[in-house]
A and B are shown apart, each in its own frame.
Chain A
Amino acid sequence: MSKPSKSPWVIHYDASSCNGCDIEVLSALTPGFDLERFGVINTGDPKHADVFLVTGGVNTQNISVIQQIYDQMLEPKVVIACGACACSGGVFHSCYNLIGGVDKAIPVDVYVPGCAVHPTQLIDGFIKGLEILDKKAALMSSKKKNKQISQSSGVQAIPSPEAAEHKENSLNQETPVQKEETKRGA
């Protein structure tokens, strides 16, 4: 049986960026670099995807969107933060509406630096991400064997505990806007 890294399907989401990284992501998928020769398909459907590719930082409006896409993806899954903004907020880091990097919303597995990220760097990040994907898949199958995974009734995907914890943390954190409001109130 083959490993999941043999056919990583990607969903690409642009949080809040200058679109520089998005163009590089598309460049990686189109004839110039042709990621499809490694079985990578750009799906646009979170339920089909294994890899979540996020460009741009997280702001107060799209944090719920990112979390929802992450929750809709099925295990095993990997999150790759592409570019400086997705890693830490980048040039937008102190903007009033920006929360920060993608790791403020969901657990990130691979950080790919660069402004904008170069397709070869992206491919490098991909390879790192696929190693993690294989490890997660192996962990999942070993857990299945040990029957530690409680059988879901098939109604809905259970979000991983890691993600749920992360979600709680990020919700407890005050956004810069809220902080300002509390200051004013005081």
Chain B
Amino acid sequence: MFFTIIGICIGSVLFALLGYLIGGFVEGCDRRISARMQGRVGPKIRQPFWDISKLFKKEKASTNPSENTYITCALVLLVISGGVFFAGSNLLLSIILSTLSTLFFIMAAYSSRSPFSTAGGAREILQVLSYEPMEYFMAIIFYIVIGSFNVITVSLQPQPLIVYGWPVFIGMLFIQLVKLRKSPFDLSTSHAAHQELLQGTLTEMSGPALAKAKLMHWYETVLMLGWTAMFFLDARPESWIVAVVAAIVAWFLDIWIDNNFARVKWQSMISWCWGITLCTSIVNFIFVSLL
């Protein structure tokens, strides 16, 4: 127990540092690849780091002082969630902590009382509602196949999780779009200014609070890519390369979908997400019970 906690602490600190670097790099690549897909040159890869640095130096102002507390809690919880996952500890705990982090983010959006960010917060709740069942089904399938909730056990298996959990993996790929707020499902926030809700949850955030919200998105991206990579890990050392490549392919697919599909209504989002969750989970349960 003691060593587990120490492991999670070290994992969280490492995730806070490496997640920042990898997340910023991934974001920079995302913006550049998106720009190329739109026929533009795009900013430099280092651009997201400059943005964050600038936002931290802006004048501090918020409509409600508690906003900053909420957003800081959200960021810290997400870092711990990533620490739990990357330290190879409990997958279920990681999922619950990341949800709790999102709830704090919603609280931060609601705290300003602005109609734009309140509507953004409501839409964020709908997004949580859409992707949450799939995450828990993934954890259940993980337990049935591996026999434990500990992430570290996948690296001791003779076969990767994808062999028995491929239907759930397809579901997770779909959910990833909602979790990372990519285009068909970017209901609560938007990178573009043509959104009817301005920037949704981010509307009333400014300066350091906005920087923390952006950092949260980086960590979320790294965590989601980690969950994708987890499906390809096994006892062989070369599986680590396969896992990283799989995460990159999944992420590229996200960018491609982000740039090619228009935003849907929340009703469609929930029905698609729940439909896919139900189908993939049932297929996976049958598949696992047959083998």
Contact = CB atoms under 8 A, between A and B. Distances in A.
A157 interface: yes
Interface in A31-48: 31, 34, 36-39, 42-45, 47-48
Contacts of B41: 34, 37
Contacts of A30: 40
Interface stretch (B46-54, B175-183, B244-252): B46-54
B198 interface: yes
Q: Is the interface of A mostly helix, strand, loop or mixed?
A: loop
Interface stretch (B11-19, B56-64, B92-100, B260-268): B56-64
Contacts of A154: 60-62, 65, 68
B204 interface: yes
B205 interface: yes
B193 A39 contact: no
B50 A6 contact: yes
B210 interface: yes
A35 to B, nearest CB: 10
Contacts of A137: 57
A178 interface: no
Contacts of A150: none
Contacts of A152: 60-61
A50 B53 CA distance: 14
Given A45-B198, A74-B58, A154-B62, A39 B47 contact: yes
A156 interface: yes
B39 interface: yes
A155 interface: yes
Interface in B13-53: 31, 35, 38-44, 47, 49-51, 53
B190 to A, nearest CB: 10
Q: Is the interface of B mostly helix, strand, loop or mixed?
A: loop
Interface string B184-226: 0000000001110011001111110010000000000000000
Contacts of A47: 61, 203-206, 210
A109 interface: no
Given A6-B50, A39-B51, A34 B35 contact: yes
A23 to B, nearest CB: 16
Interface residues of A, number: 31
B38 to A, nearest CB: 7
Contacts of B202: 45, 48
Contact of B199 (A38, A48, A50, A155): A48
Contact of B42 (A6, A36, A76): A36
A2 B40 contact: no
A75 interface: yes
B40 A37 contact: yes
Interface string A119-154: 000000000000000000100110000000000111
Contacts of A157: 59, 61
Interface of B: 31, 35, 38-44, 47, 49-51, 53-54, 57-63, 65, 68, 193-195, 198-199, 202-207, 210
23 contacts: A2-B50, A34-B35, A34-B40, A36-B35, A37-B44, A39-B47, A39-B51, A42-B193, A43-B193, A43-B199, A44-B193, A45-B193, A45-B198, A45-B199, A47-B203, A50-B54, A74-B61, A74-B207, A75-B59, A137-B57, A141-B57, A152-B61, A155-B63
Which 7 residue pairs are nearest across A and B when measured between Cβ atoms? A44-B193, A157-B61, A47-B206, A6-B50, A74-B59, A75-B59, A34-B40
Interface of A: 1-2, 4, 6-7, 30-31, 34, 36-39, 42-45, 47-48, 50, 74-76, 137, 140-141, 152-157
